[in-house]
Structure 1
């Protein structure tokens, strides 16, 4: 399976910020690099981790590339890079990185300033793709030995809108995205849900912030992030009952990976299938026998290549390819899932919608989204309603533009302001009325 590589310092490393065009310093000997980008030493976990989930491992000031001087502090606020302990789906301790952002804006609602955990959308699987690194370098470029990389920190927009409301924000990078000890277990329900909840714990453990023990918590995520926060809302009662979760915004969640696999194959984002398989093989090594039976040399090479790629790289390198080109038999990955009970069982365990979430959840999905299909996201909301959850279902009525990636990305932009305002109102104490009763007549 793909592993992280350690490459000598003489290889080229370049990380460019669109604010200031900063260039990363030359790497030290044996520095960890990914596709020519040097990963800061901060992201290498120590040999031993704390015993408590959410416990801080290390912190450092994080310079925000996109900030302005203010009267009392920089705008939209100040940031701290964090590493904290979480637990993976196998029950093992794992180091996770992220960032806490202290807003310059005052909180105008009642009580203590709330905390929002932002779970990023798909960034890739290379360590250079992490969202906390993107806060410092919104545009990351790298080149090495014929490999190139480009990563854009698009989640900055949502974070800064939340900060403008006076909400404190902590974002998680998820396990293995930034941290150099493992691959990112892409769309692993438990790993991501735990990382989201433990990010809230880690933020509250930071000294000298404006959040308090009484600060309520909200979750925000779209696409991969929408699945991560949906999972976290389901897991809160059993895994993190101490996290005072009040409201969740889950946009375009990949709740049913079987249906998502079928939809993504052959689109611009087919590389995400490789990230999924890489993560599955890391989590359950017994699946390697299945992979060996089906994956061709081309398929094995694609998985290795994708393991260090960001979204931009996957778009340039694999857009519109089909997974049939990765198998010995010419079967698609969806066909392999159907044919192999052990693989199907593993993926069925990733299903989101079978457990009642804590707090009120706004599930938003574009009706024309055929990348992370609208139907399976709506089904998650229906399943939650049947469990008696407090669900606000919000279909985003945008026309299809004929391109799956744009059909998926359009609702992110169209709904973002509404989603931030909705979450802010819930954290301020304004009630939300579930619309489960009217869901049968909604698209």
Structure 2
């Protein structure tokens, strides 16, 4: 979820902060071993058991593993893997993409999951998703798909890191998984965008994975549309998140920002890079990013070095081969339903089986809760029974709750 209702939320650090785990920047666990570049993507480089800030019926570990960055170079990131209680034959693996939506390294999901379960902690707020996956008896991998440089909404890299997290989980003996393990992908909003990248990159990056399906909620197919749609509204923090991250990830985009954004705007982006999603949503609510630019926002977004990046980070250039369940609220305040409709058309034209559901009453905040049972139910049909899926279909519903038990 990109935006969370913020009522009476304090942004101060929790009491006894000295007792909290060290953030990734000062935790040696996250340091890449000297020889990591010589290993294959998905190789587990380091592991440790961890205690989470949420109560779930599972044993948890963190895995540091070799992966690939947005430029195709060797990199590392971490995943939190969970093994539910109880025995199960041929246990499936669900890769859950938690929305992070931040360009601050300390907002990494693996770290935030170890912190107290507070209203300012987006990672622990996603406990219902994690719990329902575990309730199915599935192992769960929750990758830090933004990597150690906290790249939000970049192209390809989230897919590489999620898929290598799956490889790492399959290589980690305590989980009891194999390369034949049935695998599913699931995420909503910022997590839906990352899930889309994983589904799109899997055929060319990790074809050996037994990927049975992907449940993708409100995936932000065209981030530039979301910048325009959210600007000056309650969800305007998204624009800051995207400007800050893309400038850090893409030098040409950064040059354009520095050429056309005022010192006050650049300072605002520095603030964005120091805080996690909920704090940024609160701080930059109703911000008009236009006021920091020396040309109209629409014109800035069409500058060649900017539009080249914005085109690159759009979903849809490569279609998944695994079946997809995709859901979108029609009246989303951040994502135009037309952009998701177009994404579905691209996937279907390329032969991807897509079950597409459009919710007629939800908004961006409520669609996560409304869509969860159907999304996980559909995934169960792929992971628990391998029910075949073919063709494409679109269904409009008054509420996603009408689809509970969908498979």
TM-score (norm 2): 0.87
Return the offset for 1:156: 2.0
Contact conserved, 1:186 with 1:276, CA < 8 A, in 2?
yes
Contact conserved, 1:15 with 1:24, CA < 8 A, in 2?
no
- Equivalent in the alignment of 1:389: 352
* Match among 46, 52, 57 for residue 40 of structure 2: 52
SS at match of 2:54: coil
| 1:137 is aligned to 2:115 | yes
- Equivalent in the alignment of 1:408: 364
- Equivalent in the alignment of 1:89: 70
Distance, in Å, in 1 between the alignment partners of 2:172 and 2:318 is: 31
- Equivalent in the alignment of 1:99: 80
SS at match of 1:398: coil
* Match among 338, 358, 379 for residue 423 of structure 1: 379
| 1:335 is aligned to 2:291 | no
- Equivalent in the alignment of 2:104: 126
Distance, in Å, in 1 between the alignment partners of 2:328 and 2:116 is: 27
SS at match of 2:36: coil
The superposition leaves residues 122-176 of structure 1 with CA deviations (integer Å, 9 ceiling, x where unpaired) of: 34222332222232224369xxxxxxx7655222220111001001100011233
Return the offset for 1:433: 4.0
Is the alpha carbon distance of 1:344 and 1:84 closer, same or farther for their aligned partners in structure 2, counting shifts above 3 Å? Answer: same
Distance, in Å, in 2 between the alignment partners of 1:196 and 1:308 is: 24
Distance, in Å, in 2 between the alignment partners of 1:22 and 1:139 is: 14
| 1:165 is aligned to 2:136 | yes
Return the offset for 1:106: 4.2
SS at match of 2:64: strand
Distance, in Å, in 2 between the alignment partners of 1:137 and 1:159 is: 16
Return the offset for 1:48: 4.4
The superposition leaves residues 12-51 of structure 1 with CA deviations (integer Å, 9 ceiling, x where unpaired) of: xx965xxxx8744389xxx868xxxx85432343454243
Contact conserved, 2:95 with 2:166, CA < 8 A, in 1?
yes
- Equivalent in the alignment of 2:307: 344
Distance, in Å, in 2 between the alignment partners of 1:138 and 1:26 is: 9
Root-mean-square deviation (CA), in Å?
2.6
Gaps of at least 5 residues in structure 2 are: 1-11, 399-407
| 1:25 is aligned to 2:23 | no
Return the offset for 1:209: 1.6
Contact conserved, 1:120 with 1:221, CA < 8 A, in 2?
yes
Return the offset for 1:205: 1.2
Contact conserved, 2:357 with 2:395, CA < 8 A, in 1?
no
Distance, in Å, in 2 between the alignment partners of 1:193 and 1:422 is: 21
| 1:358 is aligned to 2:345 | no
Distance, in Å, in 2 between the alignment partners of 1:96 and 1:242 is: 21
- Equivalent in the alignment of 1:237: 203
Contact conserved, 2:23 with 2:106, CA < 8 A, in 1?
no
Distance, in Å, in 2 between the alignment partners of 1:175 and 1:368 is: 28
The superposition leaves residues 78-105 of structure 1 with CA deviations (integer Å, 9 ceiling, x where unpaired) of: 0001111211121112211120001114
